[in-house]
Structure 1
């Protein structure tokens, strides 16, 4: 990724927060395997401030779309409280294998780590785990797949991926929970489509919407999606 690319991915900007369109395949923070991360590019998003912005919440390496960045310590603290208190409305689009028989519903399945190893982020449905609630709705259907809007009420690690897999319709391209190959294929078909942040008490929420990523366009089109107004669509 080049500097001009990340600047072009800014969806919203004010004195406290940036929302960017994170590309799929780019981890936010450094990991044990090394490699390129979003952190390496954040200096390009200072826009005159002395320090770079920092991510206010998690977004998986292979998930594309809206990521909120706090522009300084006070902004990060305010955003952290919003995300911790489930005050942020998060909307994801996913292409799943098969799909639900119904048109809408919710998934209420507690989640826990698969392993006691603190380095492991893999999760499982577990009645003794932390409460986790996801609302979903079918937006379209195609051959062997469905296009869902997913709204996580809670914010557990890998919540949407585990919940969809547990229901029998894993997210396409999910190498951990869906049985997809780790290499090749279209990649994880999960996109953080929109964020709504009630950041200012006397103003409407800050909103941002990320365009459909290239690796999901064909699958969404097969489910009836059309968006000629989006960049690159």
Structure 2
């Protein structure tokens, strides 16, 4: 059972736990528990993804309750009217140099100014 954070006539927002796939995938054909099927079973109707969250990522997942609603939500993500924000909780201190691989990937893949995408906040004290 997934926590439903919001639902109306057009969309549903659920709390996706880390470790869950959003939808069935050839990457893990044997996976039996996926968000789309679980939500569909919970609310008794088909759902349509507007975006995804990677398997290790937890967070709010929006799904349309019709193909049109899903398509319009997806367009809002594509046009950056809706933005995802990621927060990482870490513990401890890294020794040596840290390389921000995700920033490097975004820079080469998306070709947008990184400052508009990523903010790294440093703690005030060690």
Give the aligned partner of residue 46 of structure 1: 43
Q: 2:76 aligns with which of 73, 82, 87?
A: 82
Shift in Å, 1:39? 2.8
Q: Output aligned runs, 1:189-200, within 5 Å.
A: none
Matched, 1:136 2:119: yes
The CA distance in 1 between the partners of 2:121 and 2:55, in whole Å, is 25
Measure, in 1, the Cα distance between the counterparts of 2:22 and 2:125: 32
Whether 1:15 aligns to 2:9 is yes
Long gaps (5+) in structure 2: 95-101
Using structure 2 for the length normalisation, give the TM-score: 0.71
Match of 2:60, SS state, is strand
Moved more, 53-62 or 34-43: 34-43
Deviations 1:38-62 (A, max 9, x none): 2331322435xxx411221010011
**8 A contact 1:110–1:131 mirrored in 2:** no
- For residues 137-189 of structure 1, what are the alpha-carbon distances to aligned partners after superposition, in whole Å with 9 as ceiling and x for unaligned? 5274686xxxxxxxxxxxxxxxxxxxxxxxxxxxxxxxxxxxxxxxxxxxxxx
1:19 is displaced (CA, Å) by: 0.7
Say if 1:83 and 1:23 are closer, same or farther in 2 by CA, change over 3 A: same
Q: Which residue of 1 aligns with 2:54?
A: 60
Change (3 A) 1:62 1:27: same
CA distance in 2, matches of 1:21, 1:67: 6
User: Is the CA contact (8 Å cut-off) linking 1:45 and 1:52 kept in structure 2?
Assistant: no
Q: How many residues align?
A: 112
User: Secondary structure of 1:95's match?
Assistant: coil
Greater share of residues in helix = 2
Q: Note if 1:91 corresponds to 2:74.
A: no
- Runs of 4+ in structure 1 off by over 3 angstroms are 96-99, 107-111, 139-143
